[in-house]
Structure 1
Amino acid sequence: MSLKPLQSSLLCLLVALSACGGNDDGLPLFVDPIDTQQPTFSLAVSDAPVDGLSDVILCFSSITLTGESDDLVMQVGDADFGITANDLCLDDTGNIVPNAVGINLLEYKGSEFLSLVNDYTIEAGHYAQINLGMTDGSYAVDKLDYSKTPIRVPSNEIELNGFSAVENTDVGFTVEFDLRKALTAPEGQTGYILQSDGIRIVNNQQAGDINGLVSETLLINNLCEPLADIHGNPAAVYLYQGTQLDIDTLADNDGSEGVAPYASSTVYFDSSQTLYPFEIGFVPFGSYTVALSCNISDDPEMDDEVSFLDVKEVTIDENKPEGSVDFEEGYE
């Protein structure tokens, strides 16, 4: 008995991927289902440079993704982890911390990065949080006398926002350490503390970078110093979300003015080209104001006196992920 049109339509709906009709044998034609793949996860680290330090070594031990049912933990030393353990992390007795990797953030400035884990297969779903497990042994090295100062990470953990992953997609993020904001030296305490305020996570597919040059004439005319010195930074740049901002409302890293900086970086002397460049990497797509200052000293826990020489505006998006800003004249 032949199927009625409605019954035939229902059969097509139930098999979903079948082709209604028949072959020479009168059998329905079926199409193979579309192959689906689990999503992959990648995570890297990068840094905005800090004043006065030649090395900033942070000691990592794990990455944990907080899932809807179970947590996914990736340990240093696992085959799927992007980098292996090294001997840079020492405990209080001078012994090497096992299953830990020390990373010098100042080797990955601006748009440069180091992959912690790359294309790691994960289950589709929502992950409420990304946690970076840290160990003892982090430290900073002074640029002039090479003295070491320990860095403490509260609870030995850095907590970052989560994400959702769907099948057939690759999700990739970069953890950007804005050390001018994150690295603090509280009065009465020994060493530095790494604060979460200066750490942000950025979706790599929705971010670009901002770079530029500062003219030597502008620096000289405004008595910025030291010039032509690879050990010092003559100026700093601050990045603010939005445009058409009043320069008097722009704050430093803990200022009381109305507009707080999204990120900041230093201007340095490039002796190979006799130039004064800067770069801020992994900036989410959007419109920004970039402000230039000769006031290098900026305690992230104090409202410092920071004045700005000039401001520029820049927009980065998927069509133009690299923004260029050059400072040649003073603010008018």
Structure 2
Amino acid sequence: MTTIIDVAQKAGVSFKTVSRVLNGEPGVRERTRKKVLDAAQLLDYKVNHSARSLRSRSPTLVGLLFDNPSRSYTHDLQLGALTGCQGAGFSLVVQSGVSNDAIDAIAKRNGLVGIIIGAPQADSLPLVQRLEAHGIPLVRIATQLPIGETHHISVDERAAARDATEHLLDLGHTNIGIINGPSNQHMATLRFQGFQDAFSDRGLMYDDRFTETGGFDFASGMQIAERYLTADKRPTAIFAANDDMASGCLAAAYKLDIRVPDDLSVVGFDDSPIATVVYPSLTTIRQSTTEMTEMGVKLLDQIRRGQVPHTREHISPHILVQRDSTAPPPKS
């Protein structure tokens, strides 16, 4: 079946633009509107009218709430939500920002099936409690932290980080630095524990000098990597807890004329689009934010139908994707 994503790719526009055109929303250039409609006709795209007809009789609106600096993450989040909504016959409302007014505004929308919360707000107890007070089903993405009666979807963060670190150890690295995410984010705590697990499982010790926390952004990854790589005995490998920070490591290495992977190996986390755009391409942990968010919409649909899953924790698979940023350590 042709999807809205297929139409977007054919027309050469974003999936959000296609959604606006198909919903008859204003503010789209006529040339762009024609490209979208031509692509939809060429691909024989059909709107799910039977699902849409249910809107007058039951809730059909899904809210997506996030405030994240990573463009790649928020893109994947919205793509998964839109794909899930298309399959269920729902409409999507997006709220970027988490002020109390914004939270209340999205919670009071008519016809709301439920709300999906992206990271890092998925770990916010005050935010979740405020939304729960409205009596709305919630699904939290990329967190293993249980809060209230909400459902949450994530990879096994600790096991995934252990796999990333073990990959570097298997290559022969022992002097490995980590650039972790903020300590107030539960996923960052689990990823650091996985890093520690990989060392303790082999009876090894890591160097405390190379265990800093960044902001899950390119700039902090670059700044911390520069400190690591100008130390007296610099690490031969760095595990960065997301791809944005790992890309910052590559930039720092380039600035300091340190070759990756000949002189330094770098591993990221997420397998976001930036992982294959940078050079060298990143070895990373693949977790599909898109698939997790799509699953979140399906969970809300099940809850709406009274088919509440027995468990509130839902684990999504992860894999280590090996690319060009890792190699054995340089010979001394």
TM bracket, shorter-chain basis:
under 0.3
The structure with more strand, counted as a fraction of residues = 1
Larger radius of gyration between Structure 1 and Structure 2: 1
The structure with more helix, counted as a fraction of residues = 2
- What is the TM-score when the length of structure 1 is the normalising length? 0.23
